């Protein structure tokens, strides 16, 4: 960490890859000194995004209160300020919500929700004391629109949305602003799941649906994922105060379209449309215990 600087300081979580990694140069280009954090900050070759005069790299595990405290104390003790917090760290293991084991639920919420709360609570006293600051939470389209096979992730991001709304209300008048970034589908590590290639239990009542969902997601990954730099640039723009007073900032045509449809359509209509969009079709009630043999045989 450098000493005190005239540059505002941005602390970013989850910078090992994806949106977090690309956000580092985007913020640096906008005049920030960026503190890029990740669980394993040492023992690896750093990508070029983490190099540069105005970038520091520190270890931070959002699931550990001690790790969070050490990181924040280091930044405040050395740089003397944290002007922007970008809560980006997150995980998204795919599974059907009925079959997701409880430890998986705990792991996702510990990272995606409680991790954001822990880091935010550690940073807020300094921001309130300074009378200014910005908390930017990287949520997801899935926080507002249900996503089959990513239900645990969707639930955690829905909680982040509610948390951000409440925090923004409570911080009104303190000089600290809260914003939500809601990316659609972008090319990040969350799509590199072994579940899309591994065997799926043919005895599962969801075996047929999984075969169709996997085909949909494979095609989507191959042809429709966006460039994560678009999200990084939105994060940097909002962090620099160029996002206006809006709470929510959807990123990507899919995010804007699906959020609008979810808000405008009655649930019964939206449900049919959503299932057809991902290749499920038909009535949801058909699948449980009635998976067609031809579908089950293709799940491998």
Q: In this predicted model, what pLDDT tens digit does every residue of 164-215 receive, in sequence order?
A: 999 999 999 999 999 999 998 887 766 666 666 767 778 888 888 888 888 8
Residue 33 lies in a domain: yes
**pLDDT(296) > 50:** no
Same domain, residue pair 66 and 38:
yes
Joined together, the tokens standing for residue 44 give 């690896």
C-alpha span between 88 and 21 (Å, rounded) = 10
Residues 15 and 109 in one domain: yes
Residues 271 and 290 in one domain: yes
Q: What is the pLDDT of residues 225-272, one digit of tens each?
A: 788 999 999 999 999 999 889 999 999 888 999 999 999 999 999 999
d(CA 240, CA 32): 9
- Statement to judge: residues 300 and 233 lie in one domain: no
Same-domain status, 150 and 278 = no
- Pair (299, 173) in one structural domain: no
Catalytic positions: 16, 139, 153, 157
> Is pLDDT of 54 > 90?
yes
Q: Is the pTM above the cut of 0.85?
A: yes
Residue 2 lies in a domain: no
Helix ranges (DSSP H) in 201-266: 207-223, 228-239, 253-264
Specify if 258 maps to a domain: no
Q: What CATH number should be reported for the domain holding residue 157?
A: 3.40.50.720
User: Is position 3 within any domain?
Assistant: no
What domain count does the chain have?
2
**What is the extent of the structural domain holding 179?**
9-187+226-252
Q: Are 59 and 157 in contact (CB under 8 A)?
A: no
- Residue 199 covered by a domain: yes
Shared domain check, 231 and 216: no
């Amino acid at each position: 960490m450098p000493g005190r600087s005239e540059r505002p300081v941005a602390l970013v979580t989850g910078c090992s890859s994806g949106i977090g990694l690309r956000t580092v140069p985007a913020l640096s280009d906008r005049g920030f000194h960026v503190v890029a954090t990740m669980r394993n900050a040492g023992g690896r070759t750093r990508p070029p995004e983490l190099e540069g005069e105005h970038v520091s790299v520190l270890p931070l595990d959002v699931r550990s209160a001690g790790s969070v405290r050490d990181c924040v104390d280091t930044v405040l003790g050395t740089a003397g300020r944290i002007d922007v917090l970008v809560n980006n760290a997150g995980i998204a293991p795919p599974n059907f919500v009925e079959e997701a084991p409880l430890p998986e639920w705990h792991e996702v919420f510990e990272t995606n929700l409680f991790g954001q709360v822990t880091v935010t609570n550690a940073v807020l006293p300094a921001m309130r004391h300074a009378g200014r600051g910005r908390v930017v939470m990287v949520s997801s389209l899935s926080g507002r629109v249900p996503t089959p096979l990513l239900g645990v992730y969707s639930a955690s991001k829905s909680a982040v949305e509610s948390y951000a709304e409440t925090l923004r209300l409570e911080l009104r008048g303190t000089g600290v602003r809260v914003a939500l970034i809601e990316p659609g589908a972008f090319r990040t590590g969350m799509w590199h799941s072994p579940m899309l290639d591994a065997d799926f239990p043919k005895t599962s009542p969801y075996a047929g649906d999984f075969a169709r969902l996997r085909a949909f997601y494979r095609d989507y990954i191959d042809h429709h994922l966006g460039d994560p730099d678009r999200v990084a640039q939105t994060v940097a723009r909002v962090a620099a105060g160029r996002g206006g007073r809006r709470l929510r900032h959807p990123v990507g045509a899919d995010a804007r379209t699906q959020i609008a449809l979810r808000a405008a359509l009655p649930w019964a209509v939206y449900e049919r449309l959503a299932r057809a969009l991902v290749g499920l079709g038909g009535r949801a009630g058909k699948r449980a215990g009635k998976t067609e043999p031809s579908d089950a045989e293709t799940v491998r």
